[in-house]
């Protein structure tokens, strides 16, 4: 077995560009959301269940099915020193955690410090129908309207989810990485990741294109309304400009 790891993240944190960049390292084998429901990728859990016997096993004994799938996914590959995939918070079922803990899987935990910008990015993705911008794809950053009803509760849920997963991985070897560092210092970000995975440093070139403007003042069409909703709460500080904008 190669050195196993997962890239643990939630939506709108740059996780796609992270796993794809890791996979370009010659000694790293990285994949995306292998537990995404109905994913047609040949290595996904959904594809693994193509045989009716495996599909039945997954239905009757989900832990045994996940164990068998992950045993195969993390099998040794020639020339590869670290193997992993992206695991979203919403996909981390108990049977998956059980395997990760039992096999001491290492965790790169990707966190976006500004949870408000997660919600802004989600709103932009829904408005444009785009989740990611590909090279050469034209897009003019635009402002979005963010609903304020339930906004504080939504930010509380994001913060609680991050803390929950920090607690979950506490007994595993892990390293927390931040989206803001990915934007500002991508080479340093990946140097940290490569060192954690035990592979040589490799130069990276990436241009992370965003759906919205960097500044919340520009990204939010109803900035004043959002600011009023967060005034006096613990999330008010999220409106303060940071290196991300």
CATH number reported for the structural domain that contains residue 144 in this entry: 3.40.50.300
pLDDT band at 205 (very low <50, low <70, confident <90, very high): confident
pLDDT of 214 above 60: yes
Domain that holds residue 126: 3-239
Mean pLDDT of 36-41: 85
- The total number of structural domains in the chain stands at 1
Q: Which two tokens stand for residue 184?
A: 């500002």
Instruction: Please say whether the beta carbons of 119 and 146 come within 8 A.
Output: yes
**What is the arithmetic mean of pLDDT over 115-129?**
85
Q: Give the DSSP letter of residue 144.
A: B
For 8-19, give one letter per residue: b (16+ CB within 10 A) or e.
Answer: bbbebbbbebbb
Reported as a pLDDT band with limits 50, 70 and 90, residue 125 is: confident
**Spacing of C-alpha 139 from chain mean position:** 23
In a domain, 151, yes or no: yes
Tell me if 244 is assigned to some domain.
no
Q: Which of 110-124, 134-148, 166-180 has the lowest mean pLDDT?
A: 134-148
Residue 158 has pLDDT above 70, yes or no: yes
193, 175 contact by CB (below 8 A)? yes
- Identify whether 245 is part of a domain: no
Please give the torsion angle defined by the CA atoms of residues 85, 111, 204 and 105, in that order, rounded to the nearest 10 degrees.
Answer: -30
């Amino acid at each position: 077995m190669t050195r196993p790891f997962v890239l643990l993240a939630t939506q709108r944190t740059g996780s796609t560009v992270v796993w794809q960049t890791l996979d370009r390292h010659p000694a790293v084998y990285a994949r995306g959301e292998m537990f995404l429901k109905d994913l047609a990728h040949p290595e996904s859990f959904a594809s693994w269940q193509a045989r009716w016997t495996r599909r039945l096993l997954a239905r009757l004994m989900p832990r045994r099915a996940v164990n068998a799938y992950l045993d195969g996914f993390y099998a040794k590959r020639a020339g590869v020193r670290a193997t992993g995939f992206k695991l979203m918070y919403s996909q981390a079922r108990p049977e998956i955690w059980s395997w990760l803990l039992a096999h001491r899987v290492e965790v790169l935990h990707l966190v976006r410090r500004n949870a408000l910008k997660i919600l802004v990015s989600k709103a932009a993705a829904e408005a444009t129908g785009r989740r990611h911008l590909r090279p050469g794809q034209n897009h003019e950053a635009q402002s979005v309207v963010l609903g304020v009803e339930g906004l504080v509760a939504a930010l509380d849920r994001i913060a609680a989810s991050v803390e929950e997963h920090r607690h979950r991985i506490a007994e595993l070897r892990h390293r927390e990485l931040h989206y803001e560092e990915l934007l500002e210092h991508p080479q340093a970000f990946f140097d940290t990741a490569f060192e954690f995975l035990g592979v040589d440093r490799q130069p990276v070139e990436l241009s992370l294109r965003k759906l919205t403007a960097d500044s919340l003042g520009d990204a939010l069409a109803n900035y004043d309304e959002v600011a009023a909703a967060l005034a006096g709460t613990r999330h008010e500080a999220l409106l303060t400009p940071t290196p991300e904008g």
